[in-house]
Amino acid sequence: MQNIKLFCLICLSTILFSCTLLNISATDNNVIVGSNSNEEPVKFESVVKTSQESIVLLAISPLEDPTVDTSQNGVCSGAIVDEQGHVITNYHCVHNQKSILLYYYDRKDWGEYKVEVVGKDPLADLALLKILDSDKKLTPLKFAKNTEKIGVGTDVFALGHPMSMAWSVTKGIISSNNRYARHPYIYALQTDAAINKGNSGGPLMNMQGEIVGINALIISKISENAGIGLAIRGDVVESSYKSMLKTGTVSRPAVGIQIMSLGHPRQRKLVLKKFPNFNPDHIPNVSGMFVSDATDKDLPKGIDKYDTIIGINGELFNDGVKFSNLLENYKVGEKITLTLIRKGRYKLVDVVLKEFPVDVEKLYPTIQKILPQKKKSE
């Protein structure tokens, strides 16, 4: 009998404890705990409301007069990042656009404002705009710290204008913090927060209302949200913003070579297929980057075609991503020492880093629409 009573007490305690947990979970969905444990909890809707004041709508057109053919007009998003009126958005939003008009969230101010493109970073798909002729007091968004360490599963939300549905909010989590957009230099966050056309250039934010990324891409076979969105990671965006603010552009280092990875047997077969006259015995049995050609007319002095590069300043790598990650630590004009293998022999070669070449038209091909010809009146 005593055992039965003890069992009932344990069950009752478990139920009460579970109910308490359920109550806490329900409450947690409605609040955001501050970064400091002494801070008061803040409601999510309050964070959204405050953040919306820093999001702008960009009406874009490749025509100087957008009213000539409204079918070519588009909408993008942007985030105010300083009190001087600078706005971060995607480069693809402003590329070849002749008309860019900006609108604030402020319902008392539905006026349209002109902007100037003052910075371009096409490799990262980022651009910096400056609002003109506006004396409005601005509330900029802050960049979150250490976004390179943001955890998978972290709650985030996107603010923007998907499908021209102005100032929409979608919520999700970080699905991966280790993706790339267009190049291994450009780190991206993967999220399941719904991102569609019109979200481009808008921020992906943490629950404190800080920028963790700038929404840039969706991966879908139907050109609409499929639960996989990519945002340029916050640390990349902040670094790009500072550079564009200072120089109007972003410079990244390059060796000046075209490379192919040798990290997998399948990749080795691809190299031999592309270069059938190359002696397969000269491909080392190690991972590295096979030099297939130069990016310019000539290879850097000391590097030959078909060399295999395996290290930078004594640090070894085994694929193109690691190669790019190591190069990131250096600046254009700096000298580095490459470890390479040529015909079975190890060599050390000093090279001066060049600026990474970006083929803008290849990254962003222009699709021109031909306006229908008006029939001549008879």
Amino acid symbol at 369: K
- The pLDDT confidence band at residue 42, using thresholds 50, 70 and 90, is confident
Under CATH, domain 253-357 is a member of which superfamily?
PDZ domain (2.30.42.10)
CB atoms within 10 A of CB 270: 15
pLDDT surpasses 90 at 294: no
pLDDT surpasses 80 at 372: no
So what's the pLDDT on residue 366?
A: 66
pLDDT surpasses 50 at 25: no
pLDDT tens digit sequence for 50-106: 999 999 999 999 999 999 999 999 999 999 999 999 999 999 999 999 999 999 987
Residue scoring higher pLDDT (6 or 286): 286
Q: What is the mean pLDDT of the chain?
A: 83
Buried b / exposed e over 16-53, threshold 16 CB at 10 Å, is eeeeeeeeeeeeeeeebeeeeeeeeebebeebbeebee
**CATH architecture of the region 46-131:** Beta Barrel (2.40)
Q: Which two tokens stand for residue 38?
A: 């002494």
Domain(s) labelled CATH 2.40.10.10 in the chain stretch across 46-131, 147-247
Residue scoring higher pLDDT (176 or 374): 176
How many CA atoms are closer than 13 Å to the CA of 45, on its beta-carbon side?
Answer: 1
* Lowest-pLDDT choice from 158-162, 218-222, 251-255, 364-368: 218-222
pLDDT surpasses 70 at 376: no
Please give the average per-residue pLDDT across 4-21, as a whole number.
38
pLDDT tens digit sequence for 120-151: 999 999 999 999 988 888 999 999 999 999 99
* Lowest-pLDDT choice from 29-43, 143-157, 320-334: 29-43
Domain(s) labelled CATH 2.30.42.10 in the chain stretch across 253-357
- The pLDDT confidence band at residue 24, using thresholds 50, 70 and 90, is very low
DSSP characters over 119-165: EEEGGGTEEEEEE-S------PPPBPS-GGGPPTT-EEEEEE-GGG-
Considering the chain, what percentage of its residues have pLDDT values greater than 90? 54
> Domain 147-247, what fold?
Thrombin, subunit H (2.40.10)
* Lowest-pLDDT choice from 33-42, 149-158, 255-264, 355-364: 33-42
pLDDT surpasses 70 at 292: yes
- The pLDDT confidence band at residue 279, using thresholds 50, 70 and 90, is confident
Q: Which two tokens stand for residue 277?
A: 């006259």
Place of tokens 């078909």: 306
So what's the pLDDT on residue 367?
A: 53
